């Protein structure tokens, strides 16, 4: 059991978001759903909350209403091993009205912020040679979707 579970507040479209996210990540599943009952007859039978897993990470959706909106102060960081994996998650999370931002960030159609990052690039930024790390970081700062090959060229001084 995961002790701390991020809860994502949606304005009535939590069930759609749940289906969207679990369709993107291969190791995902819905673990439970709670529907509105008699306490709110106008919404009776519609989704109140659901718990789901993406790649072993547990999340909760809550159809809470229009009071709160997502912002980039909290984002989902997706570690990718290959450029193909970056491209896959980037393209799928942008479907249906998402917006690319910069430096590997995007906002999906629900307003949730994501960082789609190749782990090899992170290792470049942490390299013991500060000049190499700086070149990779400088290259990344000019990117929208992260390009591992371009970062590697900058890292190598090409």
Give pLDDT, residue 41. Answer: 79
Mean pLDDT by 10 residues, the chain (158 residues): 95 96 97 91 89 97 95 97 98 97 98 98 97 98 98 97
Rounded Cα gap, residues 68 and 90, in angstroms: 25
φ/ψ (deg, to 5) at 97:
115, 15
Please give the pLDDT value at position 121.
97
CATH homologous superfamily, domain 70-158: 2,3-Dihydroxybiphenyl 1,2-Dioxygenase, domain 1 (3.10.180.10)
d(CA 150, CA 148): 6
Q: pTM for this one? A: 0.93
Q: Please report the DSSP string for 37-72 in residue order.
A: -TTSTTTTTSEEEEEEEETTEEEEEEE--TT----T
What pLDDT sits at residue 1?
80
- pLDDT of res. 62: 96
In the CATH hierarchy, which fold is given to the domain comprising 1-66? 2,3-Dihydroxybiphenyl 1,2-Dioxygenase; domain 1 (3.10.180)
pLDDT of residue 115: 98
> Which pLDDT does position 86 carry in this prediction?
98
- Identify the pLDDT of residue 38: 86
Domain boundaries, the chain: 1-66, 70-158
pLDDT of amino acid 106: 98
pLDDT at 42: 77
For the chain, counts of helices (H) and of strands (E): 5, 8
């Amino acid at each position: 059991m995961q002790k701390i579970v991020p809860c994502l507040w949606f304005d009535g479209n939590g069930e759609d978001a749940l289906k969207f996210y679990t369709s993107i990540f291969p190791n995902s599943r819905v673990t439970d759903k709670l529907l509105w009952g008699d306490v709110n007859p106008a919404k009776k039978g519609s989704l109140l909350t659901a718990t789901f897993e993406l790649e072993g990470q547990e999340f909760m959706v809550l159809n809470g209403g229009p009071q709160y909106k997502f912002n980039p102060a909290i984002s989902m960081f997706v570690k990718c091993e290959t450029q193909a994996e970056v491209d896959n998650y980037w393209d799928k999370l942008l479907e249906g009205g998402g917006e690319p931002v910069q430096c590997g960030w995007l906002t999906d159609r629900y307003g949730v912020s994501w960082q789609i990052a190749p782990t090899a690039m992170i290792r470049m930024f942490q390299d013991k040679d500060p000049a190499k790390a700086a070149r990779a970081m400088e290259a990344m700062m000019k990117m929208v979707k992260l390009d591992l090959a371009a970062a590697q060229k900058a890292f190598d001084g090409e």
